[in-house]
Each structure stands twice: as C-alpha cells, then as structure tokens.
C-alpha cells in the first residue's frame, strides 16, 4: 500500500508564545504538515530555515528583528521555501513590504486557525494566501503599477534595471528621501545609495533628479 507523500515541513516564527502554540496545534492537526522548528525572532527564523530547509515558513511581521527582513533573507537564500506572513497588522506598509520581500501569503491573526492548513496547502499548489479584506488593496496597487511596469521604455538602458532598482526608482519618483526608501524596503541607507548610483549610471543621467524626470517622462500612458 502506497503510504502517500511525506508531510510538508513548516517553520513557525512568532515572539508571542501562545500564538505559536495555537499555530502549531492547527498545523499539526493536519497530517499533510509537520512543524520542524519554532522561533521567536527574525534571526531565529532565518537560522531554523537554513538548517531545516522547510517547505513553508510562517512569519509574524512585528516580531523582533522584523518578519519582513527575515522574509527577504529567507526568500533570497531558500527560493523554494514558501513564506506566509501571519500578523495582526493590516497596514499597507507591512502588506506591500512583505509581498516585495517574497511572501506568497499574508494572513491576519483574526482568521480561524483551523483554516490555516488549507491555506498552506493552497500555497504549496501555487496559490496566494491573502486575507480577503486585503485583496482589494493588492489589486489597486497592481493596477497603479502596471502601466509603469509595462510601458516605461522601449528597448534602452532602463531595461537593465533590476527589480530592486525599479522599486527604488519608483520611491524616488514619490519624492522619498534615502532614509525613507531604506525603511520602506527594509534595507540600509548605504545599500539604498548604492542602488541609486546604479540607477543613475544605467540610465546615463547626471543625478537622481534626472533619473526621476526620465522615469516620469517614459511612464506616461
């Protein structure tokens, strides 16, 4: 008799011990999953994921060290690990920051945890897991970004920008400062300056203001 596939391994990271326990009970109540490790902060989550290489990592946004920062690191080093944020925060900055960091799910802790295994199973099948109340915000943001993504340039230097450089350029166009961009993207100010310098060089313009002017001129519908 075929025993079936092994359970999916899950790492849970949350600094609130009772919540971790509730999530663990919900996940392990379903034979499709097993919890391989728990962590209480971003550093612990990263360490556990690098050690266990789980199928899914469930991260709290507001835990020490930042769940979004952990998501950036885990998604970069373990691209096959699906990241799902489980949080009390419905703030746009956290939602969009998590998606940019590589999360494929963003669920609020107000959900019925008994539904969490089905959400995780959907993630493993290639679906997104987002609390319904937040879906409209994602769609609105995508609609707002689509023309700039699709029609900023015909063949030319801007096509060589990386996805992170596009994000920095878009924030520059919103008149954000270096420090504000760094906080928004959860990177250091020095890394932000490196990205800005690369944008200026690749667009062959004099400075960041000229880069923004070029971006805006080519982003018109």
Per residue in 31-75, pLDDT (tens digit) is 999 999 999 999 999 999 999 999 999 999 999 999 999 998 998
Per residue in 183-221, pLDDT (tens digit) is 888 888 888 888 888 888 888 888 898 888 888 776 554
Mean pLDDT of the region 134-145: 68
pLDDT score for 151: 34
pLDDT score for 110: 92
pLDDT score for 91: 87
For residue 163, give every residue at least 6 positions away whose Cβ sits within 8 Å of its Cβ, in sequence order, or none: none
* Whether residue 142 has pLDDT greater than 70: no
Q: What is the largest CA-CA distance in the chain?
A: 69
Which of 50, 160, 60, 67 is CA-nearest to residue 109? 60
Whether the CA torsion 128, 82, 123, 18 is positive or negative: it is: negative
Q: Token digits for 129?
A: 């897991």
Pairing of strands 8-13, 129-130: unpaired
CA–CA distances in Å: residue 40 to residues 13, 17, 48, 65: 5, 8, 11, 10
pLDDT score for 53: 96
φ, ψ at 37 (rounded to 5°): -165, 160
Delineate the domains of the chain, giving CATH numbers in brackets. 8-138 (3.40.50.2300), 151-218 (1.10.10.10)
CA distance 63 to 99: 17
Q: What rounded mean pLDDT belongs to the chain? A: 85
Per residue in 69-92, pLDDT (tens digit) is 999 899 889 989 999 999 998 888
Q: Are 82 and 56 in contact (CB under 8 A)?
A: yes
Per residue in 93-132, pLDDT (tens digit) is 888 888 888 899 999 999 999 999 999 999 998 888 888 8
* Whether residue 139 has pLDDT greater than 80: no
pLDDT score for 205: 84
Q: For 33-96, what is the HEC assignment?
A: EEEEEEECCHHHHHHHHHHHCCCEEEECCCCCCCHHHHHHHHHHHCCCCEEEEEECCCCHHHHH
* Whether residue 4 has pLDDT greater than 90: no
Residue 162 three-state SS? coil
């Amino acid at each position: 008799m075929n025993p079936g596939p092994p359970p999916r391994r899950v790492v849970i990271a949350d600094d609130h011990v009772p919540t971790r326990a509730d999530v663990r009970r919900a996940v392990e109540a379903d034979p499709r999953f097993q919890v391989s490790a728990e962590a209480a902060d971003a550093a612990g989550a990263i360490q556990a994921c690098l050690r266990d290489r789980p199928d899914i990592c469930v991260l709290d946004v507001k835990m020490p060290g930042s769940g979004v920062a952990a998501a950036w690191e885990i998604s970069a080093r373990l691209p096959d690990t699906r990241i799902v944020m489980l949080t009390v925060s419905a703030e746009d900055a956290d939602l969009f920051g998590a998606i940019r960091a590589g999360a494929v799910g963003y669920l609020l802790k107000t959900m019925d945890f008994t539904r969490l295994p089905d959400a995780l199973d959907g993630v493993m099948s290639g679906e997104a897991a987002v609390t319904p109340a937040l879906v409209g915000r994602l769609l609105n943001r995508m609609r707002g970004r689509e023309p700039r993504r699709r029609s900023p340039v015909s063949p030319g230097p801007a096509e060589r920008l990386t996805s992170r450089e596009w994000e920095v350029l878009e924030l520059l166009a919103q008149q954000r400062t270096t420090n504000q961009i760094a906080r928004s993207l959860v990177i250091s100010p020095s890394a932000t300056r490196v990205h800005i310098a690369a944008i200026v060089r690749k667009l062959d313009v004099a400075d960041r203001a000229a880069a923004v002017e070029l971006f805006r001129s080519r982003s018109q519908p």
